[in-house]
Structure 1
Amino acid sequence: MTDSSGLRAALQEADSPERANPPSFNVTLLDWINVQDRPNDVESVVRKCFDSINRLDPRIIQPFLSECRDTIAKLDNQNMKAIKGLEDRLYALDQMIASCNKLVNEQKELAQGFLANQKRAENLKDTSVLPDLCLSHANQLMIMLTNHRKLLDIKQKCTTAKQELANNLQVRLKWCCYVMLHADQDGEKLQALLRLLTELMERVRVVDALSTVPQMYCLAVVEVVRRKIFIGHYREWACALVKDGKRLYETEKYKRETFGKLFSKFLYLKKIIPFDDI
């Protein structure tokens, strides 16, 4: 049987009542696909792809990426991340605090000396020692005044250094707030861009899969026809095999019956050759 006759037989078999197909409709493959996933039909998916591509216009994306690079560069600004000379200034403040502690201790010792002299004078009750004691106290008071001025100077320097450090830190904190605000804004935009790219890639995969549907549909139709042709050939072969088997069976049956009638006349041979078991 040729391919054309096999195809004709397969089509005839498909038209047979026992294997009748459902009633066909005048619907294209595109219409059928669009109905399967409304409202995400093919045209809608393609339109969304073009919309996403238009939103990814390099004239819009490139300036945004440049802003992101500028923000990253600002985040790595070493002049703002570190205060130059801070260690030296803190060391100088430590030295001033140490000097201040020495001056305070000296002031305490001088004050204790005043109290001790006052107590001795009260105990002696001798007015002759008062001039020398007053002169000594005057010298000690001058020393205490000098120390007090030094303490005030150290206090002023510490206050000035504290204010300068506060101003310096305030500038850097403002810088931190500024760059972090821009980083957050750029991060949100990057997240939106990532979502847009993810959706676009998913739609492109769908469109790519849809582009192969017609080819796969044709291959499926060819496969259906091939299988029907094979089924027709197989059935013909099976029918012929059954007919040949039946013919061989009838021939063998006739030969055995003929021989059995002839052999039944010789009863003594039946005991030697038991044909009933064969």
Structure 2
Amino acid sequence: MTGYASVQRALGAAPGQDAPSSRRLGLELRSVNSRFLDLTLRLSEELRASEPALRALLTGAMKRGKVELRAYLDGGDAAALASPASQTLQRLAQLQAAVHEHLPDAKPLSVADALRLGASAGGAPQDHGAELLELAREALKELLLAREREGERLVASLRERLEGLRALAAQAGPLIPALVAQQRQRFMERWREAMQLADGALVPEAAQERALTEATAFAIRIDVAEELTRLAAHVDEIGHLLSRGGEVGKRLDFLIQELHREANTLGSKSATMELTRISVDMKVLIEQMREQVQNIE
């Protein structure tokens, strides 16, 4: 299911600093439809160490969807322009003088070089893992709420199509007895015509018995009562799963396949255009349900 969440937080003061940092920690979560869980994490280099914990958090909360997480530290330019310590600059000047004694043609340090080297000499980078995880939990909560709202819309759409399947099955049921009676009458008429053409070569009782046997065999071939019964059972089970909630996506996938099988059999046994139309309409509804069910966890 689809969803989006974005959160930001100002960072506190770094160790050894009195003033709070000007940097902000940001995190975005995006989710689009997918039959399986596909995670993509885009983290800045300073946040790379938190990737395993973030993956564990997402896989524990979601089972389906193509999910992208992007985390970043904003305001990096302002942090990079912080003044290096005086001791660091003096040390850089001493090192540059020592290098020039042996390599007089060496290029002098630029301001950018001094800032970069001064930042790297300031110690290990600050660990934002705990803040990032807390931010991820907040964004995940928003994303799950968005997915839940979409899930409610999907359930309403699926229920609407279930009612459509029930209506089509109700139309198909009464067609079979009338069709069997009509075909039986047609067999009898053909056999009477054959008897007249045969000029008494066949025994009328035997001819009538043969006609009844053919009509019975035809009725068995076109009887779809069993398919309609199974289809109704699958529709009821889908409705039950939608009411129960939880992780029902894979069960719904299986039931949709069974619905499609019954609709196909119904079409293969069709002996009238009306029954064929009903089968086609059922398959259209089932295919629409299949596309939506693949988005449900």
Greater relative CO (CA pairs within 8 A, separation 6+): 1
- Give the structure-2-normalised TM-score: 0.30
TM, length-normalised to structure 1 = 0.31
Structure with bigger strand share is 2
Larger radius of gyration: 1
